Chain A
Amino acid sequence: MRNRAADRTGARLAPVFGLPAAAVVAVLLYIPFLWTTYISFTNYDGLASPVWAGLANYKAMFSDPDLTGALLNTLLWVVGLVTLPVALGLLVAVLTYGHKWGTWLRLPFLLPYAISGVAVGVIWGFVLQPDGALGQVLGFFGLPGAHAGWLQAGPGNTLMMIVAVTWQAAGVNALLFVVGLQSIPGEPLEAARLDGAEGFSLFRYHLWPQLRPITTVVIGLSIVASLKTFDVVWVMTQGGPGTSSETLALSMYKETFVLNDYGQGAAIALFLSVVTFAASILYLRYQLGDSREQG
């Protein structure tokens, strides 16, 4: 009886509590989303009315050399960020896990994560300037590249920016892998150790298989983050020289707000959304699955 009374009172006012969230999301996220989708099939300069253009903007994306360049750079970012920061994060996690000073030894890697992409761009732009800090280190050890203009030509400039983001992102991945390692039951590991497994073989046959769910999450997050790469590039090269280091996220911004080609910008945005969505499904599946088990 109590239950029913509570349910009845609750159900009556429930929409009042739900409405603000739904309204704000609908007006500021969904309606713009639909509008951008529509605009991506038109020619639109932001002033005159949009003119239907079918798939023209999408065709341009895959044939205009500047945009295909951005597409390839974005692909480079995806490959770079699912390998470098993920591998380094895993290495740091495995080495620090169970280590006496693990928390302290992890700290240097975590620190850059707390710094914004803009500040990371400022710091690395400084490190990579011609004959700057990196050049001097290479020169000191007599290595090639001491006088290289790291950011002056593609695809080298994109690779160096991937290094900068690796510096920023490895620590978070390490943190996530540590969470994964903590969830591995200790007893089978002890048994494996007693059977003589150690070092790499312990990792390969006992830790790595158990880390699969968290690895999926880390890779999913990395793909999504790499597709959206904007601020580091904006700060370090603005996509240049020319368009040599543009990413799709940056091309979208330039097409729309610099070149006033809203339709082209919208097409890039929609393409990015579809790919991001596909990548998100990869790891959302795991996460929603987890929260259901807990709740």
Chain B
Amino acid sequence: MSKVKTGVLLVLGLIWLAPIYLLLVNASKSIDGYDAKTVWKPGGFSLFTNFGDAWNKAALGETLVATTMYSVIAPVLAVLIGAAVGYAIVVLRLKHGFLWFVFIFGGTIFPLQMVLMPLFTGYADTGLYDTRVGMIIVYTAISVPFSAFVMRNFFTGIARSVFEAAIVDGGGLFRIFRSIYLPMAGSALAAIFILQATFIWNDLLLGLTLSQSDSVRPIMPALTGLQSTYGGAALPTVLAGGLLVSLPTVILFLAAQRFFSRGLALGQF
């Protein structure tokens, strides 16, 4: 029985790895050496040349800088804002706290499609369209509800006496938040950060809608641009681009697997 199990898993696993194999092999072929008839055969190693090509043709350098900014700054802001509201509701016992919570967490229920058009027109009117600040604001906003959800749950698990003792010691509310509650929440903050950073890194729809120029556009819309412009002509370049933009999330995922499963179980978007 156990052998059958292992056998089934190995066969399925190999099928699952096949597209990754094809990606690696063909992203490594030189553009001249690529032949649609021999995609299964390895041949040559021009991976870094192809990386360079993708980098230049899709202006990946600039978009990489922008996307990294979005994927770091927005989740940091969201984590702080979420922690603050969690602190207000659970620790400070905000009046009607549960209503506040429902209102904020309610932000996750409608699909992005529901806010795209008003954001587009609103951004155009306020001069936020196609700006890095605008992208950071919108990515922060969509990350806040989930962050508030996790932080509220996390703070619920901390004994009230911690807060009472801190008050007796004469700490101000901001100081108690900054130097007691935030440090205690380290692992929860990290989990939210990783999940939201990945989500932002992989976003296509908001980037497509709210940005245009190379210096603002996130990396996924840039990759789709590369594909439609250089499609059939230079498949190794496109594949190398796909591989390049996937590396950060794959590495992050492998390093922080348990955060992902936990976050998913919490109902990520």
Contact = CB atoms under 8 A, between A and B. Distances in A.
Q: Are chains A and B native binding partners rather than an unrelated pairing?
A: yes
Interface of A: 2-3, 5-7, 9-11, 13-18, 20-22, 24-33, 35-36, 39, 46, 88, 91-92, 95-96, 99, 101, 105, 108-119, 122-127, 129, 131-133, 136-137, 167, 170, 172, 175-176, 179, 198-199, 217, 221, 224, 227-228, 230-231, 234-235, 249, 252-253, 256-257, 262, 265-266, 268-270, 272-273, 276-277, 280, 283-284, 287, 291, 294-295
B223 A119 contact: yes
Contacts of B168: 2
Contacts of B89: 14, 18
B224 interface: yes
A284 B267 contact: yes
Contact of A123 (B6, B19, B115, B205): B19
Contacts, number: 294
A101 B2 CA distance: 11
Nearest to A236: B227
Contact of A270 (B114, B145, B249): B114
Contacts of A294: 153, 157
A10 B144 CA distance: 22
Contacts of A133: 18, 22, 39-40
Nearest to A31: B118
B103 A14 contact: no
Nearest to A131: B36
Given A270-B114, A273-B114, A277-B109, A235 B224 contact: yes
15 contacts: A7-B93, A21-B144, A25-B103, A29-B142, A32-B114, A32-B118, A35-B118, A91-B12, A105-B10, A108-B13, A108-B14, A113-B253, A115-B250, A133-B39, A272-B113
Given A18-B88, A33-B114, A172-B264, A96 B9 contact: yes
B189 to A, nearest CB: 15
Interface of B: 1-2, 5-6, 8-10, 12-14, 16-20, 22-23, 26, 36-37, 39-40, 81-82, 84-85, 87-89, 91-95, 97, 100, 103-104, 106-107, 109-122, 137-138, 140-142, 144-145, 148, 153, 156-157, 163-164, 167-168, 173, 177, 201-202, 204-205, 208-209, 220, 223-224, 227, 235, 238-239, 241-243, 245-246, 249-250, 252-254, 257, 260-261, 264-267, 269
A24 B81 contact: yes
A96 B173 CA distance: 49
Contacts of B252: 114
B141 A25 contact: yes
Given A123-B19, A123-B239, A133-B39, 8 more contacts: A18-B85, A105-B6, A113-B260, A126-B39, A132-B36, A136-B39, A262-B117, A277-B110
Given A6-B163, A17-B85, A266-B117, A273 B111 contact: yes
B191 to A, nearest CB: 15
Nearest to B1: A199
Nearest to B199: A116
A179 B92 contact: no
Judged by DSSP, the binding face of A is: helix
A281 to B, nearest CB: 9
B210 to A, nearest CB: 11
B37, B266, B267 interface centre (most CB from chain A within 10 Å): B267
Nearest to A16: B88
Nearest to B177: A17
Contact of B115 (A32, A92, A116): A32
B109 A119 contact: no
A14 B92 contact: yes
Contacts of A24: 81, 137, 140-141, 144
Nearest to A88: B12
B110 A119 contact: no
Top 9 nearest A-B pairs (CB, nearest first) are A114-B253, A32-B118, A10-B92, A17-B88, A28-B141, A116-B202, A14-B92, A21-B85, A295-B156
A131 B16 CA distance: 20
A127 B39 CA distance: 9
